[in-house]
Structure 1
Amino acid sequence: MSARLRALPGHWFEILIGTIFWCLLWGGFAPSDVLGGAAAAALVVLLFPLPRVARELTLRPWPLAVLIARFLADMVVSALQVAWYALRPAGAPASSVIAVRLRSRSDLFLTATGMLCTLIPGSVVVEAQRSTGTLFLHAFGAATPEAAEEARRRTLEQEERVLRALARREELEEAGLA
């Protein structure tokens, strides 16, 4: 525990964020709220340490901008498609669950890719297998083999954008993207 106490100043950002949330929950920034929030946040950091992810990340501004822009564009297009499916006179669209094996073995990038895919209307991750790096997605309009392959391709492109924006050079090389 003493090593964790010595490392506490290195977690100042987490403690600051925790203090702000604490004060927002209590509805004020009175000195007692700030001190109580800082104590609660420090206790959480001490009792539930998170792994450091900074070693896994390399932020690249241009690929990050491309990732964000493409994600927003995908959201708009998918939302329009889902709206069309909801309003059209035909029945429910054909859909299926597809398996997509990702290139990266990192839990961080598996999670990030899965979250981005789920946030796009018309697809949702129903399972993620950490051991194989596989996402199982329920996708609208993926009833034919060609449509399922297109959904897989879009998911792998999403993973590639995530990796190019955030992964270290070694991770890119392991994924075959360097």
Structure 2
Amino acid sequence: MTTSRERLEAVGNQIPPLIALIVLWMLLWGEFSWLNLLVGFVVAMIVTVVFYLVPVQLSGRLHPLHTVVFFVRLIVDIVRASIDVSWLAVKPRLVTSNAILEIRLRTRSDLILTWTAVATSIVPGSIVVDIDRESSILFLHVLNMHSARDIERFRRRVLDTERRIVRGFGSREDVERMRGVRPENRLTARRAARTNGKASS
């Protein structure tokens, strides 16, 4: 028997994918109009009701400064990557060397996984081709990978994107995991410190 709070949380978890579907519908049409907005809302409602969507668990946390840092850096990455891809298109004697990379994220949050996948895909030169949700692994097709150094540089770039997203929107558990210390480990350390303090006194 679900409580009213659980039902309210379930409805709230469906709002982000609903909004995302409406935005996607508007982007596909390429223009804003009230008719497109209404049709997009109806289509999004049908999709969320008829088809199963994994509920997105919101973290309930927002850090304004880190959020601004994330979006500013994302814009910089998009501009820089656009210039790089444009140069590849006109570069004489172009030797392509693309790669499919497997990148394991450090969090286990569906929200962070989705944000990282979207933020990585909208940067020109890379696109997510598959996701292992249970293991938090992104599989990406990446342009212009000529060496192990290029691959490692791109891998660090994706993990840095994940870190900025966690700092901006992630839960406290995600933040602790990014620091390399899980909350349960920190709790254990606190208990051990209290025990040692009592023993010494």
**TM bracket, shorter-chain basis:** 0.7 to 0.9
Which of residues 148, 156, 161 in structure 2 aligns to 1:158?
161
Q: 115-124 vs 43-52, which deviates more?
A: 43-52
Q: Name the CA shift for 1:49/1:98 in 2 (closer, same or farther; >3 Å).
A: closer
- Give the equivalent residue in structure 2 for 1:114: 117
Q: 1:102-156: CA deviations, max 9, x gaps?
A: 0001111111100000000001111110111111111112231111111100000
- Give the equivalent residue in structure 2 for 1:60: 63
Distance 2:57 2:118 in 1: 17
Output aligned runs, 1:92-107, within 5 Å.
Answer: 92-107=95-110
Matched, 1:24 2:34: yes
Q: Name the CA shift for 1:27/1:131 in 2 (closer, same or farther; >3 Å).
A: closer
Task: Point out where structure 1 has 5 or more consecutive residues left out of the alignment.
Answer: 29-36
- Residue 52 of structure 1: how far off its partner (Å): 6.3
What's the TM-score, normalizing by structure 1? 0.73
- Give the equivalent residue in structure 1 for 2:197: none
Q: Name the CA shift for 1:91/1:60 in 2 (closer, same or farther; >3 Å).
A: same
- Number of aligned residue pairs: give it: 162
Output aligned runs, 1:8-87, within 5 Å.
Answer: 24-25=34-35, 51=55, 53-54=57-58, 56-87=59-90
Matched, 1:131 2:141: no
- SS of corresponding position for 1:82: helix
- SS of corresponding position for 2:146: coil
Work out whether residues 56 and 110 of structure 2, in 8 Å CA contact, stay in contact via their aligned partners in 1.
no
What's the TM-score, normalizing by structure 2? 0.65
Work out whether residues 102 and 137 of structure 2, in 8 Å CA contact, stay in contact via their aligned partners in 1.
yes
Identity %: 31
Q: Name the CA shift for 1:86/1:45 in 2 (closer, same or farther; >3 Å).
A: closer
